[in-house]
């Protein structure tokens, strides 16, 4: 009889980094897995690192940009399998709203295929996963309403 899969927990952190342009809000998303998916920048929280610090570091590494955290947006979770279904991962990702400070998306690292600025509504159409679209919608509302933005 097949063994039940081993279950592991993984926690990542990431962000919606934005800037206000004359014609609206721009945000950054990244292309991954050979450009098959567009996602929010994120990554595993290191040992001795808290979720906001990991979010700032991952956004810096994957987008080339430095941001400042304004608030927490929320968290998502999903399941995926490794090694022919013998390991099941339960992933949680914390997301933060970040104001763009400096940097260039050409300086993204090799973990992503591309990092780019897009108008928020275009980014919403491009994002591959519903849970990340929900995070982006919440971020857009927070930016528009100026709610909880302590800057
Ligand atoms: P991290 O960026 O946190 O280091 P990773 O690149 O190792 O993570 P994930 O991006 O979590 O891994 O992807 C692992 C699997 O989960 C892939 O098969 C991917 O398609 C799927 N996945 C990624 N994000 C989501 C999501 N928001 N909802 C559902 N499935 C997702």
- Residue 86: predicted pLDDT: 87
Compute, in angstroms, the gap from residue 106 CA to the centroid of ligand 1: 23
> pTM to 2 decimals?
0.94
**Residue having the nearest C-alpha atom to atom 29 of ligand 1:** 78
Phi, psi of 143 (to 5 degrees): -65, -50
Which residues make Cβ contacts (< 8 Å) with residue 23, sequence separation at least 6? 119
6-147 has which CATH code?
Answer: 3.90.79.10
d(CA 102, CA 96): 17
Compute, in angstroms, the gap from residue 39 CA to the centroid of ligand 1: 9
Residue with tokens 């009889």: 1
The domain spans of the chain are 6-147
Q: Give the residue among 75, 56, 77 at the shortest CA–CA distance from 67.
A: 56
d(CA 63, CA 114): 8
Taking only the tens of pLDDT, the chain with its 151 residues reads 777 889 999 999 999 999 999 999 999 999 999 999 999 999 999 999 999 999 999 999 999 999 999 999 999 999 999 877 789 999 999 999 999 999 999 999 999 999 999 999 999 999 999 999 999 999 999 999 884 444 4
């Amino acid at each position: 009889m097949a063994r039940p899969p081993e279950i592991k927990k993984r926690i990542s952190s990431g962000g919606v980094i934005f800037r206000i342009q004359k014609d609206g809000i721009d945000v950054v998303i990244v292309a991954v897995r050979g450009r098959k998916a567009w996602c929010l920048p994120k990554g595993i929280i290191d040992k001795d690192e808290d979720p906001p610090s990991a979010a700032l570091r991952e956004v810096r590494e994957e987008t080339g940009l430095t941001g400042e955290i304004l608030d927490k947006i929320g968290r998502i979770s999903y399941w995926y399998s490794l090694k022919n279904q013998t390991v099941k991962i339960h992933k949680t990702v914390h997301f933060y709203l970040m104001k763009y400070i400096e940097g260039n998306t050409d300086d993204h690292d090799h973990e992503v295929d591309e990092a780019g600025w897009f108008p928020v509504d275009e980014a919403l159409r491009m994002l591959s996963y519903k849970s990340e679209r929900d995070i982006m919608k919440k971020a857009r509302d927070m930016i528009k309403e100026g709610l909880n933005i302590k800057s």
